[in-house]
Amino acid sequence: MHWKLFANFKEPFEDSAPTQLVGFAVWIVGDPQFINQRGDLFVTKTFTRTEWKAAFAAAGILGALATVSAAVPPVSDKKDEISFDLIANPNTVECLRANSYEQPRARATVIRGKLNDTLILDLDGIKPGLAFDLFTVQHSPFLSNGSADPTFVADHFGLAWYQSDIQIGKRSDDGHVRIKTILLDQIFGFDSDVGLNPTNTFQVGFWFNNPEDAACNGGPLKVTPFNGEHHGGPFAMISATDVNTGLGPLCTDPKRSTNPVSCNP
């Protein structure tokens, strides 16, 4: 026999405080003698919470309610999918351009998964033949309102994770890369040998693979460790820091109760 219980209580619902039950209904389903029968009972009665629990337990209802409650999954406020644009390095944007009438563009889409997440990065308006290296990093020189972050120290991107190579076709101005790893809200690294505590890398950016490709306008050759040979060029495009939280876009659930704001994993 299966019971379905619907009850409507008036506050307060404390152990010692009287609580008024203003609506109560029980459906009996599945027993051969009661198939399609419904019994409704609507009463107004004042008991304490303890007395109600005793009454429900006597009717065998309390255990059923606990089972139903445990079967309901918790509600999550985390986003299942996000998208954001990357901002071009103003010092090298001319080296990215495929033509004079189109701005170089890069848009990231991240899809949350059960075991890991998927990042899809689409590039457009990029000079054919260029190669880049994709990283997630700790810091960005830009804010989400498009301005420069005054707290950013030049070339200090913090902890960096090498994620993928990017190649623009020789006869194309677009590129596409897809990676699967831990990204949203939880991507981090640490190093106990040097005392580095768990550190999140919520920014996404890519660097010129060849330093010479970033010196197309006659600027100085700048070498960075941002490629597999540790001989890459400067950053080409990168995500921005949220002006309200101070976090990168890979954090979708900021914890504003902490100072500074952190991310709910």
Residue 10 predicted with pLDDT over 90: no
Amino acid 31: pLDDT: 42
**Domain, as residue range, for 87:** 81-263
Q: Same structural domain for residues 93 and 25?
A: no
Pairing mode of beta strands 117-124, 262-263: unpaired
Same structural domain for residues 7 and 65? Answer: yes
Q: How far apart are CA 198 and CA 18, in angstroms?
A: 50
Per-residue pLDDT tens digits for 75-124:
556 899 999 999 999 999 999 999 999 999 999 999 999 999 999 999 99
> Does 33 share its domain with 125?
no
Regarding whether 67 and 90 lie in a shared domain, the answer is no
Strands (E), the chain: 2-9, 18-29, 38-40, 45-48, 81-85, 87-88, 105-111, 117-124, 131-137, 160-167, 175-181, 188-191, 196-200, 203-208, 235-238, 254-255, 262-263
- From first CA to last CA, the distance across the chain in angstroms is 43
pLDDT level of residue 220 (50, 70, 90 thresholds): confident
131 in the same domain as 19? no
Domain stops at, among 14, 49, 71: 71
Given this model, what pLDDT does residue 218 score?
Answer: 83
Give the model's confidence band at 172: pLDDT under 50 very low, under 70 low, under 90 confident, else very high.
confident
Domain boundary among 71, 106, 122: 71
Beta strands at 45-48 and 18-29: parallel, antiparallel or unpaired: antiparallel
Q: How confident is the model at residue 4 (pLDDT cuts 50, 70, 90)?
A: very low
CATH code at position 236:
2.60.40
Whether 76 is in a domain gets the answer no
Question: pLDDT digits over 16-67, tens only?
Answer: 444 444 444 444 444 444 334 444 444 444 555 566 566 555 545 545 545 5
Across the chain, what does the average pLDDT equal? 82
Domain count, the chain: 2
CB 177 within 8 A of CB 134: yes
The 3-class SS string of 50-63 reads: HHHHHHHHHCCCHH
Cα distance between residue 111 and residue 149, in whole Å: 27
Q: Which residues contact 190 (CB under 8 A, 6 or more apart)?
A: 196, 197, 198, 199
Residue 54 falls inside a structural domain: yes
Rounded CA separation 57/65 (Å): 10
